[in-house]
Structure 1
Amino acid sequence: MDIEAEVKEALRAYDRALPAYRLLCEALERELPIHLRQWGVSYVRVEARVKKRYSYELKVRSDPTRPVLDMIGVRVMAFFRRDLPQIEKMARRLLDVAEDSYIDKGELLGPESFGYRSVQFVGRTRGDGAFPDFDAGIPVEVQIRTMLEHVWAEVEHDFRYKPQAEPPTAEINRRFALTAALLEQADRNLDDIREALEG
């Protein structure tokens, strides 16, 4: 099969699956906060999305033999850093995690580096449990981070990857790193304040 035929077939599959994927996104946004509250995590935001058709097509064209595992993405953002391990445990109870997809972006930073932090992995629906209306095996890319990490990542991504006449200067890169360091400290401060107040 030539690449154009493979892309057309992939897009037909995308169009067929789109209604179910949208429903799964709604279910993720509805169910995850409920389960998180049961796990003692109440300060959280959940956003789910289906990969846009154009982005999906580009990914298929780049390598038609490689499955697209981020058709559905869900981002879980906590107000407090110390809630992140609990969120990950809960996600592992609801989805089958592909361990080879697991990345802790924070661990990729050197001890003197500041920057993008997020835990991400691909989980698959089980066909029961929290999502019984969906077939088993649907991949969902999960990202877990704090709200402050999310703000930094979104701003940094937009500024760095939007087309610009000139690449960022060393001073701009330094300011990005400084901002990341300040937000990391703010995350730690919020955890300390919460711990002191909850005593």
Structure 2
Amino acid sequence: MDIEAQVKDALREYDRNLVEYRRLRETCETEIPSHLRQWGVLDFRVEARVKKRGSFEQKVRRDPDRPVLDMVGLRIMTFFRSDIPQVEKMTRRLFDVKEDSYIDKGDLLSDASFGYRSVQFVAHTRGDGVGGDFEAGIPVEVQIRTMLEHVWAEVEHDFRYKPQHEAPSADINRRFALTAALLEQADLNLDDIREELEGR
């Protein structure tokens, strides 16, 4: 089968499943917050999205034989870094995690480096987790990070990768790294403050 035929088949499949993807996105946005509260995570933000048709087509064209596993994206942002392990445990109870997709971006940074941090993996609906009426096996790309990590990642991506900007200078790169370091310290400070206040 040639690439154009594969792309057409993939787009037909996308169109067939779009309503279900949107329903899963809405279910994630409405059900995940109540699960987080049950797990004792009280300060958070949850966002979900469905991959746009044009973006999906571009991905299929790059590699028609590779399945697209981020049709639905789920991002959970905590106010405190110390809540991230609890969020990950909860997510593993609600979805089946594809272990070979798991990556903690912070682990890729050297001891002297500061930059993009996020826990990311592909998970699949279980049929009995989030929205138990969804069939098992629908892929969801999950990102878990703090709010400060999210702000840094969004700003850094916009400045570095938007086509209208030239490649950043060494000075800009240094300042991005410095900002990442400051935000990482702020995350640690917030955890320390909460721990001290809750210990009183």
Sort the TM-score into its range (normalised by shorter chain).
over 0.9
Matching residue of 1:52: 52
Q: Give the distance between the partners of 1:186 and 1:115, measured in 2 at CA.
A: 14
SS at match of 1:40: coil
Where structure 2 has 5 or more consecutive residues not aligned to the other structure, the ranges are none
Q: Where does structure 1 lack aligned partners over 5 or more consecutive residues?
A: none
How far off is 1:129 after superposition?
3.1
Aligned equivalent of 2:196: 196
1:33 has 2:38 as partner:
no
In 2, Cα distance between the equivalents of 1:49 and 1:98?
A: 20
1:107-126 pair list within 5 angstroms: 107-126=107-126
Q: CA deviation at 1:192?
A: 0.6
Structure 1 residues 22 and 184, CA gap change in structure 2 (3 angstroms): same
Structure 1: distance between partners of 2:132 and 2:168? 47
Count of matched residue positions in the alignment of Structure 1 and Structure 2: 199
Partner of 2:98: 98
Distance 1:70 1:129 in 2: 18
Which residue number in structure 2 is paired with residue 143 of structure 1? 143
- In 1, Cα distance between equivalents of 2:168 and 2:114: 17
1:168 and 1:129 map into 2 onto residues whose CA distance is 44
Equivalent position of 1:12 in the other structure: 12
The CA distance in 2 between the partners of 1:90 and 1:64, in whole Å, is 33
CA RMSD of aligned residues (A): 0.7
Q: Residue type matched to 1:6 in 2?
A: Q
CA distance in 1, matches of 2:129, 2:142: 18
Percent identity of paired positions between Structure 1 and Structure 2: 76
Q: Which residue of 2 aligns with 1:78?
A: 78
The offset of 1:127, in angstroms, is 1.0
Q: Taking structure 1 as reference, are residues 34 and 172 closer, same or farther at Cα in structure 2, changes over 3 Å only?
A: same
Q: How far apart are residue 166 of structure 1 and its match?
A: 2.5
Q: TM-score, normalised by structure 1?
A: 0.98
Runs of 4+ in 1 over 3 A off after TM superposition: none
What is the deviation of 1:134?
0.8
